[in-house]
Amino acid sequence: MCGRYTITLTYNELLIRFYIDESFPPYHQPRYNVAPGQFVPAIIHDGRKNRLGELRWGLIPSWAKEEKVAFHMINARAETLLEKPAYRLPFERKRCLIPADGFYEWKKLGDKDKQPMRIVLKDRGLFAMAGLYDTWISPEGNKISTCTIITTQPNELMADIHDRMPAILRPEDEAMWLNREVRQTDALQALLRPYPAEEMEAYPVSKAVGNVKNEAPFLVEEEGSLL
């Protein structure tokens, strides 16, 4: 699964990396412990250009009766997107990019202990996790736009840490993923393969990352040894 991630780079770096032309003042601030239920930066394509906005992490399907289903839909398995009613239509028509520069996973060290790990690209650059979004209207008429992060099988690096990892898109595949005219599900699912392990690395970080209230630069610093 993917339950925590980071996006510590600047607003301008975000705009340049994802070809976004914005005229309004920047609102993005570096974030070191992004968690489900929070609003997260996301990118969609409106038919003319890429747009940056915020979606709440935890999908609420448009037809859902209750808002609380979001807590069960922070991740969507790539292999079963077409089998789940909540994901089928968004997969075909409402795809987004969730930018990040790292994500956290907990590595088992024994029967009782776990070590949080931060997984990044070796160049420490931004990458895009494949996401889906939807818009839900509450019984009171409030509109909430939400998202889920797609997960896939682990690569060789991640297999030693966890049995799932976020589906990270290669930069050359991002435009196809965002293109709402593309509805060939076989071609889209082919993009959701494990990212090359040789381009990534993982290192241990503070257990303080386990508390969603903690939000500070020290969370991404390498800590000690796994031995």
Place of tokens 């922070």: 74
- Cα Rg, the chain, nearest whole Å: 17
Quick one: pLDDT at residue 137? 92
Quick one: pLDDT at residue 112? 82
DSSP letter (8 states) at residue 102: E
Q: What distance in Å separates the CA atoms of residue 144 and residue 211, rounded to the nearest whole number?
A: 25
Q: What is the pLDDT of residues 173-185, one digit of tens each?
A: 999 999 999 988 9
Residues with catalytic roles: 2, 105
Quick one: pLDDT at residue 226? 46
Q: Does the pLDDT at position 26 exceed 60?
A: no
- Give the domain 5-210 fold: hypothetical protein yedk fold (3.90.1680)
Q: Does the pLDDT at position 227 exceed 60?
A: no
Q: Would the CA dihedral through 61, 42, 187, 166 be positive or negative?
A: negative
Q: Does the pLDDT at position 94 exceed 90?
A: yes
Q: Does the pLDDT at position 209 exceed 60?
A: yes
Q: What is the pLDDT of residues 100-148, one digit of tens each?
A: 999 999 999 878 899 999 999 999 999 999 999 999 998 888 899 999 9
Q: What is the pLDDT of residues 49-61, one digit of tens each?
A: 999 989 999 999 9
Q: Would the CA dihedral through 75, 77, 81, 86 be positive or negative?
A: negative
Q: What distance in Å separates the CA atoms of residue 125 and residue 99, rounded to the nearest whole number?
A: 10
